[in-house]
Every structure is written in structure tokens, then in C-alpha cells.
């Protein structure tokens, strides 16, 4: 390359870099906040960028804009996007690709799959594809002169995957995450001169012009306290050692998933529901006796969930249904009108503690079992992950808070706890917990 060519190229690149923000606004309707605009410009100016930030700043959205911009400005061009779980890839990252890219893709005649993390263009050599690292898909055969690899929730992705990414020799990489503990590949990138590093600390943001909600920051402060490692990670975007104190004993959780010791399925068929608020997940956990036979999570409106429950009930009637009542009173009366045998469970603090300890007891005593659910594998995996991640977190006031770590989900744990709380309280339910514990 001559000096002139190099100069032209640098100028063109600089132009593209400055262009991404107005491009996103014009083409995608994405109006970047001030720090998002800075980050987007940096991402296009550096082949390898790592971003660590507080929760809710817009990490997945920024990754999505980068993906769409890459496919729109390079040809041929491939994007491989990954994160640890299917839920993170499909329902978080690719949900942002769909949100900002759907109209754009339609105008260009691109195909953006509503169900899977997939974007096809007319050129078979130009596409975007996302998959979870816990799936069987493999990071091979995606070579392209213009390959971009995006890793969301990068702190959770195992080293083998990063090695797989390196073997692909992408021309550009974007790793983005709320930080975790100070080790691993994502952490290392912040100490390597090959990477352009960005750090977003919610305490240093002007929250009036950013996406992070001041109420959320205040809540986090009150719940965890300023010196808590959770606060450091989720609000300040700092790597920090979290002293894990899992609420459920991991070996009990693991053994409840051990296949091959499933007792004969007998007893009542039941269903437990934890309603997701707005964009959150609704979890449906189904069981017979004390065996969990099916786990589903869905981002759907309440009426669709109720329709699904009613359809299942017609196919195989439930002996009982229990649902959290918090936001769900309207749903519960609707279900009663449909003749479903539903009971609302009000999750006061006391009831929550009771239900959680019933579930803990069921795990300890080996009463609860997860039947193999071949067609439901992702959700079964989530059930296991949520149980393992669930924490007892000391609060500044000296109490304990029981929840998923910040930024993670606990909908399945809640549905399980409600169900086992109810099972514990019943005198007869097919298979008795008391009987099995002996």
C-alpha cells in the first residue's frame, strides 16, 4: 500500500467511524445516547474492542447496531454472535437485532428470522448468525474476508470458545459484558494492548441522557450497599470478586438432575406459574407428584400464556395450578373464569422464605427430580443454571436478600418454589414429601 492509499484508507475508515451514529439514526431509528455514540465510534475505529459496563446501559443494543452496520457496509460479510446461553443470544442480543434491524432488513429484502438468531441477505456469503456456546453448534467453517465476531455477556463465555474465535481469525471482534470476577479472557482483554477498552460506570454517567435508570441505581445501592461486589459489577462496571453464597447446595441441585433414578411417575399433574412483568419471562413448571416433567419460559403477554395453559389443560387436565399473585390477580380470575383449577399464592416476604426453604428441603431430601425433557432441553438447562446461581445476599441492613445475581433471572426458581411450597403444605398429593424423606 502506498502512502496515499494508506491515507485514503485511513480517511475512509475515519469517515465510516464518524458515520455510524447518524447511520444508525437514519437507517435504524436508533438514537444513540452520548456515551453510546462514543462507544459506537470507537467500535468501528478499532478492530478489537472490549466494553464493560453497568447493567442496562445498552450493551446488547450497541452490539446489535454494530452487527447491522457491519452487514450493511461490507460485502461479503459474516457476523458470528455468541453468548453462553440460548436465552442470551436469541432473546437478548438477537432481540435487539430484530428490534432495530427489522424495518431495515425488510427494506433491503433481507430475512431476519423471528425465532432463531439468523439474518440472511441475498448474498449467501453475507449473513449474521448467533448461537449459544452451550449448544452443539461449532465455531468452524465461518471464514470470510470480513468476519466480525461479537460476544455478549462475554464474562460467562468459556475459554475454549475464545480459542475457537481466534482460530477463525476474524478481522474484527467486539466483546461486551457486565464484568464478573477479575479473571478469564474477558478480563484479560482489558490488560492487553491489542484491545481497545471501554468502561461505562453508571455512577459517572449523566443519567438524564442515558438509558440507565436512576431509580435502578438507587435500588441497587440500597439493596447491596456501595461496598458490595455486586454493586461494583452491576452499577460501576468493575471486575470484582463475588463471594458466592449459593442458596441451594450445588451437589443437591446436580443430583436432582441425575437421569436414571426417576421414580415411577405417579400422583397429581400440576402446574406452577411465575408471571413475568412486561418484557420479562413467564415461567411455567409442570410436574407429576414431586417430579418436574416440563419447564417452559416465554416472553409472551398474559393472555397468550393463559390460552396455552387452557389448551394444555384440555389435553391433560391438571389436578391443580398455582400462580404467583403479585401482579397476577387479573390473570388468576381470568383463569378461574375458564374453569382452570388455579390458586393464587401471595408472595409476601414470609411466604417467599417458606416456599424457598420448602424447595431447598425437597432438593436436600432428594424428593424433587427433574425428568429428562428431550424436547425441552434449553429450559431444563436454565432450571439447573438458575438453581445453581440463586444467591443468599447479605444486605447493608443485616438481612438477607434471596434472588438471582444482578442481571440474571430467577423466574424458574420462583415457579419451582411456589410449587414446592404448595406441595409441602398439602396433606396428600400423590407422592408425599414426608414419605419420601424417610
Using rule CB under 6 A, residue 90 touches ligand ATP: no
Region of 28-36, 325-333, 374-382, 408-416 interacting with ligand ATP (CB under 6 A): 28-36
Q: How far is the CB of 190 from ligand ATP (least distance, A)?
A: 17
Instruction: Indicate the residue whose CB is closest to Mg ion.
Output: 60
Residue among 400 and 408 whose Cβ is closer to ligand ATP: 408
Tell me: does residue 59 bind Mg ion (CB under 5 A). yes
Stretch that binds ligand ATP, among 57-65, 104-112, 160-168, 345-353 (CB under 6 A): 57-65
Q: Does 55 bind ligand ATP (CB under 6 A)?
A: yes
**In the range 234-273, which residues lie near ligand ATP by CB under 6 A?**
none
Q: Does 31 bind ligand ATP (CB under 6 A)?
A: yes
> Binding partner of residue 56 among Mg ion, ligand ATP, none, CB under 5 to 8 Å per kind?
ligand ATP
Q: Beta-strand (E) ranges in 115-183? A: 118-120, 127-132, 147-152, 172-177
Q: Look at the alpha carbons of 85, 86, 91, 93 in this order and tell me if their dihedral is positive or negative.
A: positive
Residue 339, Ramachandran bin (φ over 0: left; ψ between -120 and 50: alpha; else beta): left
Binders of Mg ion in range 82-101 (CB under 5 A): 92
Per-position b or e across 75-91, b if 16+ CB within 10 A of its CB? eebbbbbbbbbbbbbbb
CB-based contact 386:412 (threshold 8 Å):
yes
CA atoms within 13 A on the CB side of 436: 23
Q: Which does 96 bind (CB under 5 to 8 A by kind): ligand ATP, Mg ion, none?
A: ligand ATP
Q: In whole angstroms, what is the distance from residue 84 CA to residue 167 CA?
A: 19
**Is 60 among the residues that bind Mg ion (CB under 5 A)?**
yes
> Is there a contact between 55 and 180 (Cβ–Cβ < 8 Å)?
no
Residue 178 binding result from Mg ion, ligand ATP, none, given CB thresholds of 5 to 8 Å by partner type: ligand ATP
How many angstroms separate the CA atoms of 244 and 77, rounded?
Answer: 41
Q: What is the distance in angstroms between the CA of the first residue and the CA of the last residue of the chain?
A: 79
Is residue 320 within 8 A of residue 343, CB to CB? The reply is: yes
- Among ligand ATP, Mg ion, none, the one that 313 touches (CB under a kind-dependent 5 to 8 A) is none
By the criterion CB under 5 A, which residues form the site for Mg ion?
59-60, 92
The residues binding ligand ATP (CB under 6 A) are 30-33, 36, 55-61, 92, 96, 99, 178, 211, 407
Amino acid at each position: 500500500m502506498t502512502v496515499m492509499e494508506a491515507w485514503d484508507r485511513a480517511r475512509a475508515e475515519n469517515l465510516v467511524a464518524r458515520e455510524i451514529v447518524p447511520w444508525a439514526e437514519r437507517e435504524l431509528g436508533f438514537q444513540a445516547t452520548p456515551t453510546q455514540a462514543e462507544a459506537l465510534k470507537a467500535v468501528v475505529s478499532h478492530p478489537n474492542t472490549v466494553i464493560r459496563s453497568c447493567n442496562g446501559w445498552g450493551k446488547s443494543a450497541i452490539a446489535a447496531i454494530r452487527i447491522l452496520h457491519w452487514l450493511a457496509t461490507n460485502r461479503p460479510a459474516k457476523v458470528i454472535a455468541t453468548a453462553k446461553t440460548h436465552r442470551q443470544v436469541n432473546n437478548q442480543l438477537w432481540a435487539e437485532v430484530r428490534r432495530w434491524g427489522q424495518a431495515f432488513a425488510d427494506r433491503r429484502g433481507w430475512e431476519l428470522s423471528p425465532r432463531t438468531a439468523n439474518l440472511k441477505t441475498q448474498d449467501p456469503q453475507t449473513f449474521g448468525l448467533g448461537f449459544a456456546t452451550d449448544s452443539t453448534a461449532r465455531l468452524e467453517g465461518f471464514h470470510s474476508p470480513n468476519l466480525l465476531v461479537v460476544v455478549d455477556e462475554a464474562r460467562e463465555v468459556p475459554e475454549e470458545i475464545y480459542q475457537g474465535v481466534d482460530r477463525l481469525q476474524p478481522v474484527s471482534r467486539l466483546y461486551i459484558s457486565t464484568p464478573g470476577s477479575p479473571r478469564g479472557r474477558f478480563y484479560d482483554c482489558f490488560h492487553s494492548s491489542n484491545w481497545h477498552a471501554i468502561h461505562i460506570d453508571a455512577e459517572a454517567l449523566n443519567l438524564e441522557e442515558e438509558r440507565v435508570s436512576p431509580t435502578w441505581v438507587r435500588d441497587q445501592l440500597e439493596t447491596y450497599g456501595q461496598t458490595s461486589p455486586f454493586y461494583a459489577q452491576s452499577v460501576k462496571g468493575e471486575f470484582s470478586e463475588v463471594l458466592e453464597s449459593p442458596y441451594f447446595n450445588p451437589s443437591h441441585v446436580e443430583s436432582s438432575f441425575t437421569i436414571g433414578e426417576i421414580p415411577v411417575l405417579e400422583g397429581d399433574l400440576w402446574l406452577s406459574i411465575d408471571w413475568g412483568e412486561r418484557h420479562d419471562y413467564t415461567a411455567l413448571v409442570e410436574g407429576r407428584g414431586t417430579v418436574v416433567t416440563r419447564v417452559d419460559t416465554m416472553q409472551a403477554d398474559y393472555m397468550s400464556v393463559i390460552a396455552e395453559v387452557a389448551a394444555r389443560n384440555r389435553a391433560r387436565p391438571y389436578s391443580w395450578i398455582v400462580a404467583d399473585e403479585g401482579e397476577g390477580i387479573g390473570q388468576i380470575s381470568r383463569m378461574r373464569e375458564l374453569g382452570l383449577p388455579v390458586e393464587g399464592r401471595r408472595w409476601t416476604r414470609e411466604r417467599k422464605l417458606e416456599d424457598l426453604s420448602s424447595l431447598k428441603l425437597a432438593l436436600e431430601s432428594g424428593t424433587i427430580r427433574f425428568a429428562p425433557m428431550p424436547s425441552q432441553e434449553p429450559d431444563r438447562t436454565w432450571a439447573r443454571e438458575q438453581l445453581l446461581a440463586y444467591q443468599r445476599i447479605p444486605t447493608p441492613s443485616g438481612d438477607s436478600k434471596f434472588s438471582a445475581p444482578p442481571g440474571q433471572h430467577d423466574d424458574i426458581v420462583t415457579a419451582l418454589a411456589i410449587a414446592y411450597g404448595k406441595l409441602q403444605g398439602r396433606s396428600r398429593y400423590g407422592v408425599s414429601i414426608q414419605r419420601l424423606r424417610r
